Structure 1
Amino acid sequence: MPAVTTSVPPTRPIPGSYGFPVLGPLKDRLDYFWFQGPEKFFRNRMSTYKSTVFRVNMPPTFPFFTGVDPHVVAVLDCTSFATLFDSAIVDKRDVLVGDYMPSLSFTGGTRVVVYQDTSEEAHGRIKSFCLDLLRRSARVWVDEFLGSLGIMLSTIEGDLSKGATSSNFLVPLQKCVFTFLTKSIVGADPSTDEAIKETGFALLDSWLALQLLPVTNIGFLQPLEEIFLHSFPYPFLLVSGPYKKLYNFVEKQGKEVLERATSEYGMTKDEAINNILFVLGFNAFGGFSLFFPSLITTIGRENNGLRENIRDEVRRVLKGTNGELGFEAVKQMELVKSTVYEILRLHPPVPLQYGRARNDFVLTSHDATFQVSKGELLCGYQPLAMRDPTVFKDPESFVPTRFMGDQGREQLNYVYWSNGPQTSSPSPENKQCAAKDYVVWTACLFLAELFRKYDDFECDESSTAITKLEKATS
C-alpha cells in the first residue's frame, strides 16, 4: 500500500467557486448531468484546483423551487472523506441526498431514521430496532436467500436453454431480492398477497425513483432529462397507490415485527411501518439492486481466470463443510471476500455522502488543511475517494486479490461503501449501514452458490444480461 503521510499539511483556502446566483448552480448542474457526467465533473475540478477539496454546486438546482442550497464543499480523498463519518464533526440531519429532501409524504408523514442525526433521541431507538430486525432475520436469511436465488438462476437457465442468446437478469434479480428480504426482515411472504406477489419489486422501484429522480443521472435523451427529470421534485400522489399496497402488506403480514417495535422500542405502528418500508426499500432492496448487477457483470466480463479461481475456492471450502453453505462457510473464502470488497470499492451502491459541519473546524486532506465554517455542507463522491492513489496501488484497476493477506485486510479501513469504514461496526450511536456485514456475506453467498451450481458464466459487455451458464459437471 502507498505510504500515507502523518505530518500536518499546510493550511490553504478552500479553492473553487459557486459562481453567480442561478447561473453558477445551473452550469454545474448541466456539467454534472449532461456535458461531463458525475465522475468527469469531479475529476475535472480536482485537476483544475489541484486539490481533492473544493467548493462546487451539487444538484438539484430547481429553477422554480426555493429552499434548496446547492453549495457544497467536495471531499474526494480518503483522509477528508473520512470526516463524513465523524459524528462529533458532522450532522447528518436531513442530508441523505444533500440539501434536498423529498416530501415526508413519501414516508407516510414520518421522518424516518435515515434522515435523523445521531444526536436525536429517536435515532438510537429506531436504529436499535433495525439492528434487532437483522439479528432475528439471521435464522432464516441464508435459506430464504438461496431459495429465491435458485428461482432466479432457474429463470435465466430456462431462457438460455430455449435458444436465447442472452438472458437479462435484472427483473429476476429484483424479484429474488424483494422476496427474500420481505420474508427475512418482515416475516411476510409476497406469494400470499395478490397485490404484491408479482409486482412488489416494481412498486418499490417506482416509489424510490420518484424521490431520487431530481438527483440521479439517468443518461436519458438530453435535454429532455434536464427539462422533465431534474427541474422539479415529483409529487407523492403519483406513487401513493403503490405505497399504500406496500404499507398494507407490512401491516397485515408483519404483525410480530410491529408488536416488537411498539412494545420494546416505543414506536407507533405507523412510525414502525414507514421505517420498515424505508429500510426495506431504500437501504436493502435499493442497495442490493444496485450492487448485485455490478457484482455479476464485473465477474462475468473478466477473462483473466478469475471465475475459475473463484470456482475452485468455493468447491474446496464446501468440500470441507460437507457441502453446507452459509455465512461461516463463505467467511473461509478469501478470494470471494476480497473480490466482493474490491467491487464495493469500485462500484459503491450509494456514490454520494453528505454531512453538515456542526461547528467551525479544520478539515484535513492528504496535502492541505482547510477552514470549514459551521453549517457548511460537505459532499463526498465515493468512487473517487476509494480510488485514492495515496492509499490504493493501481487504484483504477479491478484487482480481485487486493484485500487478501494482512496488508490487504489493513486497506479495508479505507473501504467506505457502508457509510463508514469496512472495519467498524454499525451501532445506535453511528450512521453506518445496519446491514453492512449482511451485504458482504450475502454477496459472497451469491458467488458461492453460483459456482457450486455452475462451472462458468459470462455476461454481455454492454447490458445486464448473462450469455452463458454452464452447469457443474462435477
Structure 2
Amino acid sequence: MSTSKNEEEYKSGALPLRAVPGGYGVPFFGPIRDRLDFFYNQGQYRYFYSRAAKHNSTVFRTNMIPGPLCSDSHIVAACDAKSFAVVFDPSKVDKKNVLIGNLFPSVGFNGGHRILAYLDPSEPKHAQNKQVLFNIIAARKSALIPAFFSVYSSLFDKLEAQLASSKKSNFNKLNEFSAFDYVNQAMYGRSPSESTLKAALKWVLLQFHPITTIGLPKLIEDPLLHLFLYPPFVARSTYRTLTDFFSDVGASALDDAESLGLSRDEALHSLVFSTVINAYLGVRAYLNRLLKWVVSAGPELHDRLAREIRSVVKADGGKVTLSGLERMELTKSVVYEAFRIDPPVQVQYGRAKLDFELESHDAKYSVKEGELICGFQPMATRDPKVFERPEEFVPDRFVGEEGEKLLKYVVWSNGPETEATSVANKMCAGKDVGVLVGRLMMVVVFTRYDKLEGEVGTTPEDVNVNITGLTKSEVNVVEESAL
C-alpha cells in the first residue's frame, strides 16, 4: 500500500513571497501559440508540466484555451495539491460563470437561462436548482444498482459478440450510448433513443467547440472550432429534441422544482444541462478511464478484485448491496485511484474575490482581485509531496487507515472526497453516485470475467480501450432477481 507524509511536514516556517512567474507572451500571438501547444503540439499534460518545469514553480501565469478571440485567455495556473485547493474556497474565489474559465457560451444554448453549472453558491437559485438534483437521486436510489447491471450486462454481451467476430471490441464506442442509457434509466426510469443521444452530442459540440478537438487536420480544425463562438440559433432544432425529451421523462422533477420556487422553464433547461453534461459526460469519461487503468494493471489485480468481489457478493446471498460494496476495500481503492490519477474533469476555475496570497508547498504568490485561477487537477492529484509514486496507478493506495487519510486529496468532484456535497458548495450533486458507478463497474466485470486483456491509449489524453481477450468466470455469484 502507498502511504504519504502528512502535508504538515512540509510547513517549515514562513513561506517566501514570490511574484507569480510566467507571462502571456506577445498580445494576440502569444495566446495563439499557447492554444496550438495545448491542442496540437503538446497536449494539455505537457502544456502544464512543461511550463511548471520552465518556471520551477507549480504556480505560474500562462494563457488558457481558447483565446484570444473567443475570450480573455489570461490565467494563474495552480498545479499542486496545496495551491489547487483554493478553487474550492468560497472565501477567496467566485464560481460565477467560470465553469470553463473565461469562456461563457451564450445563454441562448440553455433557453436563455444561466443554469446551475454557472451559478455561484451565493446566488439564491443555486440552492434551488441543486436541491432538485438531490431530490431526484433520493427518489431513484433503489434504481441505481439494478439499472447499472441491466445496461452494462447488455454492453458486455455486445462486447463479447464483437470480440468473437472480429477479435477486438472498442469499449469506448459501446459506452457512448450505454452511459447515456444508464444515466437516464437511473434518474428518470426511461431509456433514451439513439437519436436523442445524437442530439445531445451535437448540442454539446455546438456550444463547447472552442475547447474541443474532433480529429481534423490542425490547419482546418483550429480556425473552424477555436476562433469564434457559434451563435445559439445553430443548435435550435437540436436543442428542441432534448427539451421535448426531458420535459417528458423529467416531469415529476419539474413538478418538484416548481414546489421549490423555480419556474418550470428554468428548471427544465438546468435539468438538460445537468443530465447531459454533468452526469452523462462525467459517467462516460470516468468509466472509460477506470477501465483503461484496470485493463493495463494486468491479471494479478484482476484476480484480487475477482476474489474480493465474489466473496462479498456470495456472503450477501448473491445480492449486490450498498453495504456489500462498502466492504470491498480493494475495489473501493481502485475506484478512488482512478479518480486520482485520471479525473474525468481535469481543470477547475475560480475568480479571485479579493487580493490574497496563494500558497503552494514552497512559496506564497500575490493574486489580485478579478484574476482567474485555473487548477490543473492531474498535476495536483499527482503531487509528489503528497503521494508516493504519484505517476503510477497503485490499486491499494487508499486501503487502510493511512490510505484513507489521503482521500482528502482526491478532488474529482470539485472538492475533497472527505467532504459532503451540499446546496452550499459547488461539489458535484452526484458525487456519491459517481463513486458508486465505479464500484458497480468493477462488480459487473469481475463477477463475469476472471481477467480482461486489451490495448489502451499510451498517452495521458488517450483513454481509448480496445478489449482483445476475456476469460469468463465459471462461477455465477450474482442473483439477477436480487439486485
TM-score band (shorter)? over 0.9
Report the more deviating stretch, 77-86 or 129-138: 129-138
Is residue 104 from structure 1 mapped to residue 107 from structure 2 by the alignment?
yes
CA–CA distance in 1 between the matches of 2:34 and 2:178? 38
CA offsets per residue over residues 52-99 of structure 1, 9 Å max, x none?
111111111144x5xx21111000010100011011110000000011
Contact 1:331/1:441 (CA < 8 Å) preserved in 2?
no
CA–CA distance in 2 between the matches of 1:469 and 1:277? 37
1:135-214 superposed matches below 5 A: 135-161=138-164, 163-187=165-189, 189-190=190-191, 196-214=192-210
Partner of 1:193: none
Distance 1:198 1:36, change over 3 A: closer
Contact 1:327/1:445 (CA < 8 Å) preserved in 2?
no
Report the alpha carbon displacement of residue 201 of structure 1 after superposing the two structures with TM. Answer: 2.2
Report the more deviating stretch, 249-258 or 332-341: 249-258
In structure 2, the residue corresponding to 1:371 is in which secondary structure? strand
Report the alpha carbon displacement of residue 304 of structure 1 after superposing the two structures with TM. Answer: 5.4
CA–CA distance in 1 between the matches of 2:168 and 2:412? 31
Paired positions, count: 463
Report the more deviating stretch, 35-44 or 282-291: 35-44
1:331-342 superposed matches below 5 A: 331-342=326-337
Report the alpha carbon displacement of residue 210 of structure 1 after superposing the two structures with TM. Answer: 2.2
Report the more deviating stretch, 361-370 or 301-310: 301-310
Residue 291 of structure 1, aligned match among 260, 282, 286? 286
Partner of 2:378: 383
AA paired with 1:38? Q
CA–CA distance in 2 between the matches of 1:225 and 1:39? 20
Runs of 5+ in structure 2 lacking a partner? 458-463, 476-483
Report the alpha carbon displacement of residue 218 of structure 1 after superposing the two structures with TM. Answer: 4.9
AA paired with 1:229? L
CA offsets per residue over residues 399-433 of structure 1, 9 Å max, x none?
11111111111011111111000111100110001
Partner of 2:317: 322
Contact 2:299/2:452 (CA < 8 Å) preserved in 1?
no
CA–CA distance in 2 between the matches of 1:129 and 1:456? 40
In structure 2, the residue corresponding to 1:388 is in which secondary structure? coil
Partner of 1:370: 365
Runs of 5+ in structure 1 lacking a partner? 191-195
AA paired with 1:245? T
Q: When the two structures are superposed, what TM-score results if normalisation uses the length of structure 1?
A: 0.94
Is residue 466 from structure 1 mapped to residue 467 from structure 2 by the alignment?
yes
Is residue 35 from structure 1 mapped to residue 30 from structure 2 by the alignment?
no
Is residue 306 from structure 1 mapped to residue 307 from structure 2 by the alignment?
no
In structure 1, the residue corresponding to 2:140 is in which secondary structure? helix
CA offsets per residue over residues 224-283 of structure 1, 9 Å max, x none?
2222221122333333222211111111232222111112x1111111111111110011
CA–CA distance in 1 between the matches of 2:137 and 2:235? 28
Contact 1:291/1:348 (CA < 8 Å) preserved in 2?
yes
Partner of 1:419: 414
In structure 2, the residue corresponding to 1:26 is in which secondary structure? helix
Is residue 409 from structure 1 mapped to residue 395 from structure 2 by the alignment?
no
Is residue 435 from structure 1 mapped to residue 430 from structure 2 by the alignment?
yes
CA–CA distance in 1 between the matches of 2:230 and 2:384? 39
AA paired with 2:255? E
CA–CA distance in 2 between the matches of 1:118 and 1:90? 11
Contact 1:357/1:375 (CA < 8 Å) preserved in 2?
yes
Contact 2:299/2:451 (CA < 8 Å) preserved in 1?
no
In structure 2, the residue corresponding to 1:305 is in which secondary structure? helix
Contact 1:54/1:75 (CA < 8 Å) preserved in 2?
yes
CA–CA distance in 2 between the matches of 1:456 and 1:227? 45
CA offsets per residue over residues 159-203 of structure 1, 9 Å max, x none?
223x2211122233222222222122134x23xxxxx52332222
CA–CA distance in 2 between the matches of 1:304 and 1:145? 24
In structure 2, the residue corresponding to 1:442 is in which secondary structure? helix
